Structure 1
C-alpha cells in the first residue's frame, strides 16, 4: 500500500480524519455494544484501524495507536479493580462477614474509582474523536504507550 499524500497546505485529508476518528469512536461504540466499559472490545477498533492504515497515513496510525493504547490501559486498570474486588470479597467470606467492617469502605472506593475511569474513558474518547475530525493530534492522558 502506498502512503497517502498530505494536501498542498499540509492539512490532513478528510478521509484520513474519518479513519482516525473511527479508531476512537469505534472503540466507544464496540465497548457500549458489548457492555464492556473498558474491555477488550474497545481495543479492537484502534487495532483494526492501525493494522489497515499504518502504512498509508501517519496521522491515522498515530490516532489508532493512541486509541488502542488508551483502551488497553483502561482494560488493565479495570482488571486490577476486579482482582482487588475479588480479594475483598474473599476476605469478607473468610472472616465470616466480620471483615466487612474493613472491606466495605474499600469496596466503595473501588466502585468510585471504576465510575471515575468510566467517565474519563467516555470524555477522552469523545474529545479524541473530535480532535481527529478537526485534523489535530491527540494524546490521551494516563495512557501506557505499548503499541508504538
Structure 2
C-alpha cells in the first residue's frame, strides 16, 4: 500500500450528457483510471441485469443497476455512468419485452411478439457481456439503444 498523496479525481458530472462525455474525454487523456474495485463493481452491475432477468423471467433486470446507481452515484463517476447506462438499457429492453408479451396475448400478433421477445433476450445477453468486458478494461460502454432516464 502506497502512502503517497493521490491526485484528486476530476469531477466528471459537470457538463455533457450526465458526465459520460467528460468521463470519456478524461479516459482518453489518461487521467484517473478506475480502480480495480470500481471495475469489479461495474462488471457486476452489467451482469446483474441478465442475471436478474433470468431469475425473474425477464421482469426485474433493471433492479441491480438501479441499486448500484443509488449507492455509487456520488462516489464514483465511472460506476455512475456504468449503472445509469445499464439501467436505461434494461428499462428499454423491459418495455420491448412487455410489448412482445402484449403481442402474444393478442393472438394475431404472435409472430411479432415472438420476434420481440427473442430480440429482448439476444440484446440482453450480448450487450451486457460486451459491456462487462469493456468495464473490465476500465471503459464506459454505451448501450445501443436506451431511454435516458438516469444520468
| Structure 1 residue corresponding to 2:52, chosen from 23, 30, 36 | 30
Q: Structure 2, unaligned stretches of length 5 or more?
A: 1-7, 10-29
Q: Computing the radius of gyration over CA atoms, which structure comes out larger, 1 or 2?
A: 1
Q: Is the helix fraction higher in 1 or 2? A: 1
* Counterparts of 1:84 and 1:29, CA distance in 2: 25
Residue 76 of structure 1 aligns with which residue?
95
Following TM superposition, where does structure 1 have runs of at least 4 consecutive aligned residues deviating by more than 4 angstroms?
A: none
Deviations 1:39-95 (A, max 9, x none): 22x111001101111111000000000111111111111111222222x23xxxxxx
Q: CA contact under 8 A between 1:20 and 1:61: conserved in structure 2?
A: no
CA RMSD of aligned residues (A): 1.9
Distance 1:59 1:85 in 2: 39
Listed as ranges, the gaps of 5+ residues in structure 1 are 90-102
Instruction: Tell me, yes or no, if the aligned pair for 2:88 and 2:150 is still in contact at 8 Å.
Output: yes
In 2, distance between residues paired with 1:80 and 1:110? 7
Alignment partner of 1:15 out of 37, 40, 65: 37
Match of 2:76 in 1: 57
TM-score in terms of structure 1 length: 0.77
Alpha-carbon distance, 1:9 to partner: 4.8
